[in-house]
Every structure is written in structure tokens, then in C-alpha cells.
Amino acid sequence: MSNKNFMSAFEQYNKSHEQKKRVSGEDLLKKYFQIKEGVQRIRLMPPLSGEEYFEKAKFHMVRETAYNRATGKTYLGWKKHYCSASNDPKVEKVDANGDLVLDKDNNPVKVRPHCPLCAEKDRILATQDQSLVRKKEVELTTQAQKIGYAKNKEIFKEAMQFTPKDYFLLRVVDLDKISDGVKIWQFPYRIDKQGVHDYFMTAIGRFHKEFPDSDWTSISDGCTFELKNVEATTKSGHQTTKLQVIYGDSKLSPVTLDEILNKKLAEDTTKWSDLHKKKVRAKITHEQYLERVITKTNPYYDNDQKKWVFPDPKDADLQSNANNRSDDDLTESSSNGNQESSMTQAVVANEMENTNTQPDMDSLTPEQVSSMPTISESTNSGTSESGNIDFSDDEVDDLPF
Ligand SMILES: [Zn+2]
């Protein structure tokens, strides 16, 4: 084998090894920035090529049966779901037979990718009396119109629960945990201008006034931000942490004095979309899961039984498959004679596919992160559209499990 061939084989070996590299659930959790009681000091990282300082994306926030890490019990709570229709590029439209739909110039017609929750919103809205949709209340003349108008309002309210909400996604470094690398902080857009983004705008505005030629995200000469957080109780009695204010340092500084660490951060390409690949839960696709969210039959993790549960009897086949480990997992745990406990061990091993590929969320169960603090977005509650959903009233589960 020539030296060149050997090098090529060596590279291939390294590459295949790289692909099989597994990332632990713990490592994944490190990528989520969470506010904690007291003071936190952070840096905002420069945007990646083609990205904004404050990236934006849409997520659905829906109420569903979920797992509460703090109590170890299932509960009815708010969960956040990636919206493919809003965030993914358009796809070629196909008809009922699976054939491409072409426009008059014979080019494929492009449409938004299918999102079950957006489709449900559209389905509900289509049941409105269309003749009254654009009318104002003062324009209604008959009693029948007034009744129809009131009904339309109810239908609109029902549809809005399936409307995706705007979120900001920010690349940050927690100065108390620099070795974790770049983390993603996600917070909702607030119509009342009392959200995290608004606090940042005030702090950045001050920084810009003082250092008009400086970039607050500069790793060598940027701004350190201080977050003040307080403990608070939500309307429903949950303990939570609230962000009170963000201050920007009135001097320029490097992220750390450690040059090697700064270089590492500069090369860190962690981006929000890495954390928001479509999730696979209980061995069903993101879309299949969302279809069940609509009918309130989504699978959930039952900590008492230590398994995924499908509430709909029609999902019997999925139920029987949901808790089967893959061959890989069984091999991994075969040294333990007790199947049940070895499966738990496999779970505790926190292993999942490298995030370069779609993470197999199935290999993570909520119990793995039971020690993690509950994430709340109470300070970021509210919604950009309907204005009548207050997430602060309950726990918002923000993690991908
Ligand atoms: Zn959607």
C-alpha cells in the first residue's frame, strides 16, 4: 500500500469513527442555556455565517401529557414543538398519487413542508363562516350575522392554540461554564416588549453609545452581560426563576484570558438548528407525534412503569414497539443478566447518535434528566398573536425529551 493509499484509508477510518461517535444526553443538555437564581455572566457569540445576531424561528406551544422531571410524574403541561412549515425550506408539491405538481411553465410548484399542527390550525379556520371573516363587528346588520360572528371568534380562538409562536435563538457562553462551549438560549418574542430580547436591546443600545465602533459579540474585545434572576412563583404555584434585568459591562474585554479557550470558542459552530432536528420519540416520527398531540393521544413517558405509553388503543402496534431497544442497545447492556435493569443502564449511559445526524431521542428518556432544574419561561410568557395564552401559568418544558 502506497503512503498515499494508507493516508486515504486512515482518513476513512477516522471519518467512519467520527460518524459513529456518540454524544451523551448530558452533553446535549450542556448546549441549552438556562437561567438560574442569582447573577449569571454571559457573552453573546458572533453570529455564524449567514445567521443573524438574534436568530428567529417558530415553534408550537401546546398543552399535552408530558413528564415532569421535578416530581417524576406525568402532568398536563406546555411543550414546545419545532414547526417544519415555518422553519424548513419549501418542498416540491405532490398530488394524491404522489406525482409532482407543475406550474404553467412546467416547473415544480413549491409549498411549505407539512406540519400537522399548522394543518390543524388551517382545518379549524376553514370551518369559519367565510362571508363574515373580514367583516368588522359594526358592519353586522342581522342577528344571524352577529351569531355567526361570535361563532367565528370562538373558532379563531380554538385555531390559535395551533399557531406557531416566534422565538429568538441566541448563541451564548456562560462565563461560569466556559468549558461547556457555546450554548443556545431560546426565548419567545414578547409583544409587550418585556422579554429577553427587549432587555438585550436596551443593554446593547447603551454599549453601542459608549463604544460605537465595537462589536458586542467580539471574543477579544466584546461586552460581558450580567443577568439578574430572582426566584418567583407562577400563578399555578410552581417555583420558577425570573429574569429581572440585563446589564452590559461598560468596558471592552476578551471572553477569557485563556487564548486557547478563546480560539476554541471562536471555532465553535454550535447552532440552534443542531438542537432542533425533528425529534423521534417512542420510535415514532415528529409528524406522527404531533398528529397525536392534536387528538391528545400523544405518547408520554411513564416513570412508574419506566416506559413509553400510547394512550390510544389504536396504537397497539406502536405501543408494543415503543419500548423495544435496538440490537445495539441490547448488545451494550448484555453483560447484565437482568433485562429490565440492563435496559435502564443503557438509558443511563445517556448515549445517542452524534448530533450531526438526527438524534435518536428514543435513546433518552425523561428520567435521565430528572436532576435537571425545571425550565420555565415565565418571564417570557405571552404570545405574539392571540395574546390570550399565558405560559407563566404552568411549567414549560423546553428540553428535547
Ligand atoms: Zn407548524
- Where along the chain do its domains lie? 32-83+165-397, 116-163
Q: Residue 362 and residue 352: Cα distance in Å, rounded?
A: 8
pLDDT number for residue 3: 57
Alpha carbon of 336 to ligand 1 centroid (Å): 43
Q: How, if at all, do strands 307-309 and 183-188 pair?
A: unpaired
pLDDT of residue 77: 82
Give the pLDDT score at 349: 24
- Give this prediction's pTM: 0.73
Q: Three cell numbers at 126?
A: 376553514
Q: How far is the CA of 231 from the centre of ligand 1 (A)?
A: 33
Ordered DSSP codes for 254-300: -S-S-HHHHHHHHT----HHHHTSPP-BTTB-HHHHHHHHHTT---E
What's the pLDDT score for residue 7?
60
- The pLDDT assigned to 357 comes to 25
Q: How far away, in angstroms, is 380 Cα from ligand 1 center?
A: 20
Percentage of the chain modeled with pLDDT above 70: 74
Residue 69's pLDDT band (boundaries 50, 70, 90)?
low
Examine the pLDDT at 374 and tell me if it is beyond 80.
no
Distance from the alpha carbon of residue 257 to the mean position of ligand 1, in angstroms: 44
Under DSSP, is residue 44 helix (H, G, I), strand (E, B) or coil? strand
pLDDT band, very low/low/confident/very high, at 26 (cuts 50, 70, 90): confident
Expressed in angstroms and rounded, the spacing between residue 215 Cα and the centre of ligand 1 is 35
Ligand 1 centroid to residue 123 C-alpha, Å:
13
Question: Distance of CA 59 to CAs 56, 65, 70, 79, 166, Å?
Answer: 10, 18, 24, 10, 7
From the CA of 384, how far away is ligand 1's center (Å)?
Answer: 15
Centre of ligand 1 from the C-alpha of residue 86, in Å: 6
Ligand 1 center–CA 296 separation, angstroms = 17
Average pLDDT for 19-39: 77
| Of the candidate ranges 20-24, 54-58, 214-218, 336-340, the one whose mean pLDDT is the lowest | 336-340
Q: Looking at 3-7, 131-135, 235-239, 258-262, which range is the least confident one?
A: 3-7
State residue 239's pLDDT score.
Answer: 80
Across the chain, what does the average pLDDT equal? 78
pLDDT at 302: 87
Phi, psi dihedrals of residue 218, rounded to the nearest 5°:
-60, 130
pLDDT at position 133 over 80: yes
Enclosing H/E stretch for 148? helix 143-160
**pLDDT tens per residue across span 295-329:** 999 999 888 888 899 999 999 999 998 888 654 33
Q: Distance of CA 375 to CAs 79, 241, 282, 390, Å? A: 11, 8, 22, 16
Rounded distance from Cα 277 to ligand 1 centre (Å): 14
Give the pLDDT band of residue 46 (cuts 50, 70, 90): very high
- Strands 91-92 and 239-248 come out as unpaired
